[in-house]
Amino acid sequence: MSTGKIMITEEQVRTRAAELGAQIVSDYDGCELVLVGVLKGAVVWMADVMKAVDKDVTIDFVQASSYGSSKESSGVVKIKKDIDTDISGKHVIIVEDIVDTGNTLSYLASEFASRGASSVEICALLDKPTGRKVPLDVKYAGFEVGDQFIIGYGLDFDEKYRNLPYVSYLED
C-alpha cells in the first residue's frame, strides 16, 4: 500500500476553515459555545477551526473508537476519554476528521444531548456520504470525498500518516 496524490492541500483546508469559522461566529452570536474535538484524528482540523472562530469559546476533547486496526468500522462506539466540561446549557460543536458510517458522531451527539447541551452540531473536515449507515446532519462540512480510504491531516491508517500536511488516500 502507498500514499496517493494530494487531494486537498493545507491551504485549501485553511481557507475552508476560515469560511466555516465565520459562519460559526455568526450562527452562535450571543451563545456560550464549546468546541469538542474528537481525538486523535481531528486535532489538526480542530486547530484550524478554533483559530477561525473569532469569539469567546472553550474547547475540550473526547476520544471515541469504532475502528480497530482494520479499515472497516465495527459499529460499536465507546468513549475512551471523556470531556471534562459541564456542557449542560451550552452549545456544542463536535469537531471531527471524517464522517463515514455516522456511527461515532450519532453516538456522541446523542450522548452530549442527553447531558443537557442546548444544541449539538457537527463540524467535519471530510464527509464521505457513500459510507453512511445512520442518518446524520453535518451542519459544517469541509469537503466531500468519495469511497476511498483517506489519510493525512490527522487521518490515519493503523496510526500512520496523521502527520501528512495534506489530505491524501491509500493506494493498493
Active-site positions? Answer: 100
Cis peptide before 40 (omega within 30 of 0): yes
Amino acid in the structure at residue 100: D
- Cβ-based neighbours of 39, under 8 Å, separated by 6 or more: 61, 62, 63, 81
> Considering beta carbons, is residue 54 or 72 the nearer one to ligand IMP?
72
Which positions lie near ligand IMP, rule CB under 6 A?
41, 66-67, 73, 96-104, 149-150, 155
Amino acid in the structure at residue 133: K
Q: Which of Mg ion, ligand IMP, none lies near 155, with the C-beta cut-off 5 to 8 A by kind?
A: ligand IMP
Q: Which of ligand IMP, Mg ion, none lies near 66, with the C-beta cut-off 5 to 8 A by kind?
A: ligand IMP
Q: Which of ligand IMP, Mg ion, none lies near 102, with the C-beta cut-off 5 to 8 A by kind?
A: ligand IMP
> Considering beta carbons, is residue 28 or 161 the nearer one to ligand IMP?
161
Among candidate residues 19, 30, 8, the one with its CA nearest the CA of residue 123:
19
